[in-house]
Amino acid sequence: MNRINQLFEEKDSNLLNVYFTAGYPNTADTRTVLESLDASGADLIEIGIPFSDPVADGPVIQRSNEKALAQGMSLKLLFEQLDGMREKVKAPVILMGYVNPVIQFGIEEFCKECQRVGVDGIIVPDLPLQAYLDDYKATFDDYGIRNVFLISPQTSEERIRLIDEKTDGFIYMVSDAGTTGARKGISEAQLTYFERIQDMKLKNPRLIGFGISDHDSFSTACNYANGAIIGSAFVNSLSEAEDIPTAITNFVSRVKNG
Amino acid sequence: MAVSFEVSEKGYYGKFGGAYIPEMLYPNVEELRQSYLQIMADPDFQADFEDLLKNYVGRPTPLYFAKRLSESVGAKVYLKREDLNHTGAHKVNNTIGQILLAKRLGKHKIIAETGAGQHGVATATVCALMGMECIVYMGEIDMERQKPNVERMRILGAEVVPATSGSKTLKDATNEAMRHWIQHPTDTHYIIGSVVGPHPYPDMVAKFQSVISEEIRKQLLEQEGRENPDYVIACVGGGSNAAGAFYHFMDEPEVQLVATEAGGLGVDSGKTAATTSIGTEGVLHGSKTILMQTEDGQIVEPYSISAGLDYPGIGPLHAHLFDSKRGTFLSITDDEAMEAGVKLSKLEGIIPAVESAHAFAALEKMEFKADDVVVVNLSGRGDKDLATYIKYGKY
């Protein structure tokens, strides 16, 4: 069974998904960050594939992408770094990236490498549902790779139902209209949206992301979904970290326990 | 079966196009896709569009027989004078169309990206005309290079926001505009300035710009007794003026379509924007097209002396014209373009935009018969480029 499906079978609340950019703060840090997150109790781990033009990302993740690329990070190198990770890492691992580097790598080759190193799923924000179904799904399915779709407050009910039908993993709920990055708290309008989706009784579990930065916003999000995703706040903490494993243990503990 | 150059139901030209956008933009783009053809076909809309093009922009622009240039080239050369439009370039044809469309969609805020500033100025202009709020994203480096246009936009009431991410030029301004649109999905319309972006933008912009080739046909019939020229030549960055100049000739195989790209310091120099020479298939800014990129799929920063051609891709329609060999794509270096710009100035008393000068340079590279009818799209005037001409110095 895919580790993503297995995780949600075993645990259905307060799940913490942490995002970090591959090759950041330094090229050789990918494995350290990954293994420290796993050891610290992150339930899912999302690894960003750096891209020159990340349109869905806010300033913090943009800068981490730029720095990683400037230091020589690439998708090919990422798969080399992830080689053998399953000897240590237990959590489901998801790659998050834009479609162009994946196309250049080759869709089939990409899926093959994901399967080889033990990646369980992928999030490609600029690969829309229809293009995925037409041109990608068959290959992803062949290699057992789950594709995670985003929904936002503007997504129509009809479309959410369609995405739910086509998803086998989880649904990524973008918390409000915006790119990734910290915001000030969670608003009434967002809570109304969270409740609306909760009431739809979707078949897939949901994680809330974008604007989740600390224990408070994490706990609030967890009241309305199976868990939440933290990216920019974590990337920020890495950029200031003196000792990566310690910083990660503290970060994950602060988010989970306050 | 003949190759089609009309966009498909799903937004493709051959294998290029589509709408590769984050889900957060899906409702905006879908709203546009479902309504643009209907709105554009509405007689009231068409009447408004034609009225503004005539009385505000100053259309039809002349199709001018360039006698001295023709003698020099050895063919009958006509210039389509898009430089005589209000704001000095073809860009305004599209911004007039899109702002009328935005009004009908009930939007009251406008965003745009700009490289050299011509599209930004054309957008700020129509926003002033309609009393709409206007934000233009512009790369920090381009703002420095194109200061007069920044101030023109500000005088017109627009807010100019520097794009400080990535390479701080046009592609980054486009990224920032898309991010702004993601953050303001309901009240804002994004006026993209070229035939790039997710479907329906390439088709919508091409249709608004197609007034250029529509007029060429009528004017050529009056002046030459035939609707079709032998050649149409236009420069391509993203490709909006070329799309407009080619539009009504794409299905007329006897008309040769010639697109000139910015070769910069030469296609092998690493300092170029000649996308079809060194580019490969990929996805950027919402569409599958031909791009300048690394093996790893990272977008490569282009270079050209002309900021308006300084884009790492071409619109999907042009990728299809190239791929199907319907269009001939030539690469013109900085020096060849500047030389052609000075030549046009001396022979015809017209200083072209450096972008348009790239189209004129093709005349020097091609072989013509004496009775060939050649239309060159003079997409913009050179006033904005005086500093570039002065720096070039050979006049």
**Whether B233 contacts B327, CB under 8 Å:** no
Mark residue A235 as left, alpha or beta (left: phi above 0; alpha: psi -120 to 50; beta: remaining): alpha
- Give the pLDDT band of residue A185 (cuts 50, 70, 90): confident
Indicate the helix (H) or strand (E) that contains A163.
Answer: helix A157-166
Contact B27, B184 (CB under 8 A): no
Classify B188 as helix, strand or coil. strand
A112-116, A182-186, B205-209: the lowest-pLDDT one: A182-186
Instruction: Compute the radius of gyration of chain B from its Cα atoms.
Output: 19
Smallest Cα–Cα separation from B29: which of B19, B42, B37, B39? B19
DSSP string, B213-279: HHHHHHHHHHHHS-S--SEEEEEESS-HHHHHHHGGGTT-TTSEEEEEEEEET-TTTT----HHHH-
Instruction: Reply yes or no: is the peptide bond before residue B200 cis, omega within 30 of 0.
Output: yes
pLDDT in tens, A68-92: 999 999 999 999 999 999 999 999 9
CB-CB under 8 Å, B297 with A51: yes
Q: What is the distance, to the nearest Å, from the Cα of residue B181 to the centroid of all Cα atoms in its chain?
A: 22
**With bands split at pLDDT 50, 70 and 90, how would you rate the model's confidence at A182?**
low
Residue B313 is given by DSSP the state B
**CA distance, residue B187 to nearest chain A CA (Å):** 12
Q: To the nearest whole number, what is the mean pLDDT of chain A?
A: 96
CB atoms within 10 A of CB A33: 26
- Distance CA(A225)–CA(A207), nearest Å, equals 6
| DSSP β-ladder status, A227-230 and B12-13 | unpaired
Contact between B188 and B105 (Cβ < 8 Å): no
**Of B244, B276, B284, the residue nearest B260 (C-alpha):** B276
Q: For residue B337, give the 3-state DSSP assignment.
A: helix
Cα–Cα distance, B179 to B305 (Å, whole number): 28
How many Cα atoms occupy the beta-carbon half-sphere of B254 within 13 Å? 7
Nearest chain A CA: its distance from B29 CA (Å): 12
Residue A106 has pLDDT above 90, yes or no: yes
**Is 0.80 topped by the overall pTM?**
yes
Token pair of B237 as six digits: 């960055």
A172 Cβ contact partners less than 8 Å away, ≥ 6 residues apart: A123, A148, A149, A150, A151, A206, A207, A209, A229
pLDDT tens column, A202-247: 999 999 999 999 999 999 999 999 999 999 999 999 998 999 999 9
Residue A209's identity, in one-letter code, is G
Could you tell me if A70 lies within 8 Å of chain B, comparing CB atoms? no
Q: Which two tokens stand for residue B363?
A: 């005349």
Residue B1 has pLDDT above 60, yes or no: no
Nearest chain B alpha carbon to A180: B179
CA torsion B206→B209→B215→B220, rounded to 10°?
A: -60
- Alpha-carbon torsion A205, A210, A215, A220, what sign? negative
pLDDT digits (tens, 9 = 90+) for A121-141: 999 999 999 999 999 999 999
Place of tokens 């009251």: B108
Which chain A residue has the Cα nearest residue B178? Answer: A55
- The β-bridge partners of B77 are B374
Q: Determine which one of A46, A87, A120, A188 is catalytic.
A: A46
pLDDT in tens, B78-102: 999 999 999 999 999 999 999 999 9
Helix (H) or strand (E) holding B77: strand B76-81
- State ipTM: 0.95
Q: pLDDT (tens digit, 9 = 90+) per residue, A7-24?
A: 999 999 999 999 999 999
Of the partner residues B18, B23, B291, the one whose CB lies closest to the CB of residue A155: B23
Work out how many CB contacts closer than 8 A connect A with B.
110
Interface residues on B facing A, Cβ-Cβ cutoff 8 A: 10, 18-24, 26-28, 165-166, 171-172, 175, 178-179, 182-186, 280-286, 291, 293, 295-299
C-beta of residue A185 within 8 angstroms of C-beta of residue A217: yes
> At B126, is the pLDDT very low, low, confident or very high (cuts 50, 70, 90)?
very high
Locate A134 and state its tokens.
């037409």
